[in-house]
Each structure stands twice: as structure tokens, then as C-alpha cells.
Structure 1
Amino acid sequence: MRGYQPPDALEFPRFAGIRTFMRLPHVSTAEGMDVAIVGLPFDTGATFRVGARFGPEAIRSASVLLRPYHPFLGVHLFEHLSIVDYGDAPVAPGFIEDSLRRIADFLTPLTTAGVIPIGLGGDHSVLLGELRAVAAAYGPVALVQFDSHPDTWDAYFGHRYTHGTVVRRAAEEGLIRPEHSIQVGLRGPLYGPADWQAARDLGLEILSAAEVRALGLDAVVRRILRRVGDRPTFLSVDIDFFDPAYAPGTGTPEVGGFASWEGLALLRGLAGLPMVGADVVEVLPAYDPGGITALLAANVVYEVLALLAVRRREGMPGIALLGGRPEGL
């Protein structure tokens, strides 16, 4: 397959050139591509630390270390996928509802063309804009969320749109199918038991960090795949799923999280997941002096791309074909 792909690193050095994800071509149309990396540089939905607006830039810079062949899944990304960097959504700093509309409008040409968007956040509130665009093309989707927080508050200081309310809003708007959605890795101090119960009341399945460890990674993967089935799925990874020792650069860190290898192992186990969109959010470079959070986030995106490449290689339905809508959904 010869679609969009990066230049050869043996002919053009990896440290040179304009920063795009994996040095991919920056393309602003929805033609001739399967997957589009999209920056979502909005962070004023955050309730503690802000600065994730600079996350997309940091993730792109770290991504130059990535190479096209995934050894664990045995797949070469660009033999099966045409991938571009679509640039950044034109958000309005400080104006969350306007920014969510702008994100949805920016992504809609991709989703209606069957292109799979992978968002680089930005705080987790950007998920609502992504889901609006995806659901407009596919209907309500299953949500697989790796996170230390369920993001199902009804309001924060009386405001309905923040990174802590995004999943509740998505359920209320009919963008997700809660009965086929799952949140993995919840942990940390709460205001009360209602913080987690609210997710269950919406119909979501939740697995706390303690439950993940008790079950084991393989069992968790099976549980996720069983929950989703063959339904169109959006995969959302909040970088605070990982322990702050591995991802210090985030807005609301929680101790007792997961090592990078654990998170990557969970993702690799999801081969076959019928993804129609994904993101990695809450990367905050100001608290990431060594760049390890951005590097981990770039590798999360790499794992997602590998999952999509495996699905295409195996001829599974549910991934976009060049120039058309996905089949089998």
C-alpha cells in the first residue's frame, strides 16, 4: 500500500523538518487517507492545573522517535494505512461550548468521509466535540475510557461543561451507548461514593485500578472486548491513567496508577476493537520537564495506529477504506 506516510529516516533525519506526528504529511483535506492525527489544543475545561493546550505540540515533538514497524503486533503501519497529520482544531481559548462546536465542525469532514480521527489533547473536555462528530457519522458509539476519573459529575461550580462532566454530557446527548461502554483504572480520593456511582447509574461499567490488578491484564482485555462486541467504538486515553511516576505532566495526577508497560499491554490486547475514533488527552508539558509524559502519549497513539493496521491487515470490518465510508458498521 502506498498512501500518506513519513519520509525515510535514512534519507531525511528525524530531528529535521516541521513538527507533525511521526513526521507525517500535513494534509488539510479528507481525501486519500485512512487515519488523521488532529491536535485539540484546548485546556480551559480543566479544574486544577491548566496548560494542556500545549500537549499536542509536545506529543508531536516526542513522536519523532517512533518507527513504522510494530514488533509486538508484527505489523508495518504504512503497509496497511494511509495516515496524515490534519493539523489543529481552531479552538477558542476560554470558551468551552464554542470550542466544542469548533472541534466537532473541524472533525466532521473526516468522520463523514470514513476517516478515523485520533485526537491529541488538550484536556478531556475535548472528548465531547470528538464524540459529536463521530456519532453524527456512526450513531452512538461504545466508549472505552482509560482514566483515573469517571468524568461523570453533573456540574462543577454550577457549570455543566468541564473535563469532569464530559462523559455525562455525552450520555445525555446520546453520543455513546453506556450499556456497551467501560471505564478502566479509576482510583484516587473522592468527594463521596456518588462520584463513581454516577457512572454506574448512567449504565457504564467501571473497573477500578484495584479491580484491574485483581483480575489481571488478560482478563481485563477480555472484559473490554466482551463489553464492546462489534459496535463502533471510541477509545479515549487520559494520560492520568498512568501513575505520575510515568506521567507527571498532567492536570489531575493520581498516585497508585499503572506503569507504562501495563497500559501498553492493555492496548495491544485490544486487537480487533472496531475503532472509529480515539484520543490521548491531559498531557501538560509544564509539569513534564523530562518529556516522559509526552513520549508516553506519543507511544499510546502509536499503539492505536498499530491496532488499526492489524485490523486492516486481517480484513476485519469497521475501518475506513480509502475514499469511502467504513464497511460492516
Structure 2
Amino acid sequence: MPRVQHTPDEPVGPVDSSRVPRFAGWGTFARLPRMDEVPTADVAVLGIPFDSGVSYRPGARFGPAAIREASRLLRPYHPALDTSPFRVAQVVDGGDLPVNPFDIGAALDTVDEHLSGLYAAGVSPLVIGGDHTIALPALRAAHRAHGPVAVLHFDAHLDTWDTYFGADYTHGTPFRRASEEGLLDLDALSHVGTRGPLYAAEDLTEDRRLGFGIVTSAEVGRRGVDEVVAALRERIGDRPLYVSIDIDVLDPAHAPGTGTPEAGGLTSRELLEILRGLDGLDLVGADVVEVAPAYDHADITAVAACHVAYDLVTLLARRRAVRSRVAEPSA
């Protein structure tokens, strides 16, 4: 399969769309090589087709496939960040994890074990889900590799509730469990894009107690992207950062294909601009979750999600390139 590779010493790039139509060939993310096609990798896109933790509409187990299919149209140069991410780092598609759909605990252990292996091998993961339950094992693995991490959580919902029907591990509880387990840097936690009704005012009190600050979707509209980015960067500082994105942070006009939609969300443009404003921070891992294609229309949600994932891949690749330059011995 002909691929974009300008010199033999460069990372192996995506399939060359000038020679192979975008609708042909393997359906990997952005038509990138599979992990088994390259000797080493810097960044891996990993699918987790799991939605046993949802509380409303199921279907996010089919999210990774939908995101990959929509990503066929992505191109190898990112003009907003002036970067060719697949040239500055070896980015691969790591396939899907075979997580147990009947045992949430077993599924979380599988995710933790696999992501911990990637971190140990020096690979930065971008997870595509799947429901938001998988953020917990992703944070466990990130903590094992980097210690307590700053978290930037884009979501319509807090996801810091205690239990659902007596269950501790659901898509509405991962950040509460992560805070309780000591995985997070409590001075650098932020929700962005929250909105809609809650169960009680105590939800906000409990969220603050766990260490989170909140930038609602309405605040993003009033304050503007630049001001929000400046505040987030100040809060995060030079800490290792994990970014978790529930696609329902977007308004249903931009992301109808999700399990728990809420009116009044961010636009896809606002989300992408905020992400680009994180350039230069110590991003160590990320996820994009809750894409449920059965409720999508004309692939609107999948297209938004694949572009969000592409921006995260670009940030991870740029960060890896910076680390590589710093690690090079001086002449």
C-alpha cells in the first residue's frame, strides 16, 4: 500500500490519497499504519468498543469504527498548528481492545493493563471510545507512568457522581473514583462545557470538594476562547496533562450521535480552538468518547470526533517531537 513518506528515515505516514482513493484500503484512523506495520511508535490511536457503563442510550461501542471511517478524509498537514503530525512522530493505529462487555471490572482492568504497557514502551495513547467509564483506567495508567496528572475534562456533565443504582463504575462516576484513588493533581482539574440540570445543588458542592473547577458552556460563549484558554493554561502550568473529551460537550446540532445530549453546548469550532490553545503543554494522553453512531445524522458526530482526535494527535505528536529534541545528546 503506497504511503506518504518523504524520506526513508521519516516516520511511516498514512496511505497516499493521490494514489489510493480515500474510500479504499484499510480503515485505520486517518489511514495510518497499524502498530504491527512499524518497528516502533510514538503515538497510538487505540479503540475501546465498550458501552456497558452507560445510563441512557447505548451504542458507543460502535464509536471507534465510526470515528475511523470518518477520519478517511483527514489530511497530513495541520495548518492551524503549522505541523505535519505524521512526519514529526510515528503515529499508528493500535486497533481495538477486546474488552469484556459483561464485566465492567474486567473491562477496566484490560484497559489499564494495555495502556500501562503502552506508557511503559514510551507510547503516548489517544483512546477513542466507547463510553466515559474508560477514562478511569486510562487515568490509572497515566498516573502509573507520570504520577498525579492535571485533567482537562470536556463534557456536558460533571461525571463526578458517586453511584448509579449502587454501581461504583459507570460513565457518570469516573472522575470521582479517580480523585478518590489519588490519581489526579487536585490543583489542576477543570471541567469545560458543562451545562443542563443537575440532581441537586450538592452536586456542585461535591464536585468542588473533589478538586474541580468549572467553565460552563455559557461562560465559553461570554468570555471567548482566548480568555478561557489563558485561564486553563495558568491552572495547568507545567504539570503532566490528560485531556478527556465526551463528544456531548458539543451542542446536539454539532454532535447528535451521543448517549446523553444536552442543549446549549459548544460549537465544534470552539472546542477545536480551545484544544489548539493547549499547544506546548505537557500532554501525556487523551480520550474522545461517547460517540454513538446509531443516533448520528450524515456522520456529523463522527466527523466532529475525528477532527477532535486529529487535533489531539497533533498535540501529542508535537509534544513527543519536543521531548525527543530535548533528549538528544549535544554534539
Indicate whether the TM-score tops 0.5: yes
Q: CA deviation at 1:43?
A: 0.3
Which residue is 1:269 aligned to? 277
Q: Which runs of 5+ in 2 are unaligned?
A: 1-8
* 2:11 maps to 1:3: yes
Structure 1 residue identity aligned to 2:15:
P
Q: Is the 8 A contact 1:147 1:241 kept in 2?
A: yes
Q: CA deviation at 1:223?
A: 1.1
Structure 2 residue identity aligned to 1:286:
A
Q: Identify if the C-alpha distance between structure 1 residues 213 and 197 changes in structure 2 by more than 3 Å, giving closer, same or farther.
A: farther
Q: CA deviation at 1:213?
A: 2.1
Which residue is 1:295 aligned to? 303
What is the 5 A alignment of 1:91-130?
91-130=99-138
In 2, the alpha carbon distance for the partners of 1:36 and 1:253 equals: 29
Which residue is 2:6 aligned to? none
1:208 pairs, out of 209, 216, 235, with 216
What is the 5 A alignment of 1:11-50?
11-28=19-36, 32-50=40-58
Q: CA deviation at 1:96?
A: 1.0
Structure 2 residue identity aligned to 1:146:
F
Which residue is 2:253 aligned to? 245
Q: Kindly tell me the number of residue pairs found equivalent between the two proteins.
A: 319
Q: CA deviation at 1:62?
A: 0.3
* 2:198 maps to 1:190: yes
Return the TM-score normalized by structure 2: 0.92
Structure 1 residue identity aligned to 2:189:
S
In 2, the alpha carbon distance for the partners of 1:239 and 1:295 equals: 11
Q: CA deviation at 1:258?
A: 1.1
* 2:229 maps to 1:221: yes
In 2, the alpha carbon distance for the partners of 1:195 and 1:5 equals: 46
Q: Which runs of 5+ in 1 are unaligned?
A: none
Q: CA deviation at 1:136?
A: 1.0
In 2, the alpha carbon distance for the partners of 1:68 and 1:271 equals: 18
RMSD: 1.8
Structure 2 residue identity aligned to 1:233:
L
Structure 2 residue identity aligned to 1:101:
D
In 2, the alpha carbon distance for the partners of 1:268 and 1:21 equals: 20
Q: Is the 8 A contact 1:179 1:205 kept in 2?
A: no
Which residue is 1:57 aligned to? 65
Structure 1 residue identity aligned to 2:150:
A
CA distances 1:241-280 after superposition (whole Å, capped 9, x unpaired): 0000010000100000011111111111111121110010
2:185 pairs, out of 154, 177, 188, with 177
Give me the identity figure in percent: 51
What is the 5 A alignment of 1:148-167?
148-167=156-175
SS in 2 for 1:181: strand
SS in 1 for 2:81: coil
* 2:80 maps to 1:80: no
Q: Identify if the C-alpha distance between structure 1 residues 196 and 94 changes in structure 2 by more than 3 Å, giving closer, same or farther.
A: farther
Return the TM-score normalized by structure 1: 0.93
Which stretch shifts more, 189-198 or 244-253?
189-198
CA distances 1:23-80 after superposition (whole Å, capped 9, x unpaired): 1111159952110000011101000000100000000000001000011111111221
1:168 pairs, out of 173, 176, 187, with 176
Structure 2 residue identity aligned to 1:21:
F
